A and B are shown apart, each in its own frame.
Chain A
Amino acid sequence: KAGVTQTPRYLIKTRGQQVTLSCSPISGHRSVSWYQQTPGQGLQFLFEYFSETQRNKGNFPGRFSGRQFSNSRSEMNVSTLELGDSALYLCASTLERDSFNTEAFFGQGTRLTVV
């Protein structure tokens, strides 16, 4: 069974540009969550999608957005990039919640560098 796939693995962008990251969840998983990891703030929740709907959102500015497609694949977009957006962006895939015992499986991440 294939794991969570994130593309691209590495990305370098210039301040002010926008970027789109992609995540393909484990087959059969319908929940996709995104996290940002930085040395200063650690791992922080961005948002979660289930059945093409955003169910939860973290405390990030509106420049960060996402969407989920009917095949559960998800994309996140960051507009007007800032230097502080440089981070490892991780996607997690979760099976539909059942009795609140759900394991989240992560992809390898996309390393975004803003210059």
Chain B
Amino acid sequence: SQQGEEDPQALSIQEGENATMNCSYKTSINNLQWYRQNSGRGLVHLILIRSNEREKHSGRLRVTLDTSKKSSSLLITASRAADTASYFCATDDIFGNEKLTFGTGTRLTIIP
């Protein structure tokens, strides 16, 4: 079953604008990871944020984590056409399992 929801389910923006996606989850976690998927292909790992971190940056990506609200956000700045993809958050659990529970995903479309 899905851990939670991602919001919005779909997002279309103009190239150059910023895109923000949100993820909610239900249980306590150790880490939260964000992935990108292009047209039903494999998942590309974007970033991992630990439960004791509040914000993390990687290039044009900024991830925040609020464990009190059980939510995370992914911000992509200065979007490019190549950013068009589906984005998923994935959480582990506090028991040390490698099992990841995925959100429902946000379909991002960048309009050139």
Contacts and interface: CB of A to CB of B under 8 A. Distances in A.
A97 B98 contact: yes
Interface residues of A, number: 32
Contact of A106 (B40, B42, B96, B105): B42
A104 interface: yes
B102 A42 contact: yes
A48 B99 CA distance: 7
Contacts of A6: 42
Contacts of B14: none
A33 B43 contact: no
Contacts of B44: 106
Interface in A67-115: 88, 90, 92, 94, 97, 100-109, 111
Contacts of B43: 90, 92, 106
Given A56-B97, A58-B99, A90-B42, A100 B92 contact: yes
Interface in B93-111: 96-102, 104-105
A94 B43 CA distance: 14
Interface of B: 1-2, 30-31, 33, 35, 40-45, 48, 50, 88, 90, 92, 96-102, 104-105
Interface of A: 4, 6, 31, 33, 35, 37, 42-45, 48, 50, 55-56, 58-59, 88, 90, 92, 94, 97, 100-109, 111
Given A56-B98, A103-B45, 5 more contacts: A37-B40, A43-B90, A58-B99, A102-B92, A104-B100
27 contacts: A33-B99, A37-B40, A42-B2, A42-B102, A43-B90, A44-B1, A45-B99, A48-B97, A48-B98, A58-B99, A97-B98, A100-B30, A100-B50, A100-B96, A101-B48, A102-B31, A102-B98, A103-B33, A103-B45, A103-B48, A104-B33, A104-B90, A104-B98, A105-B45, A106-B44, A109-B42, A111-B40
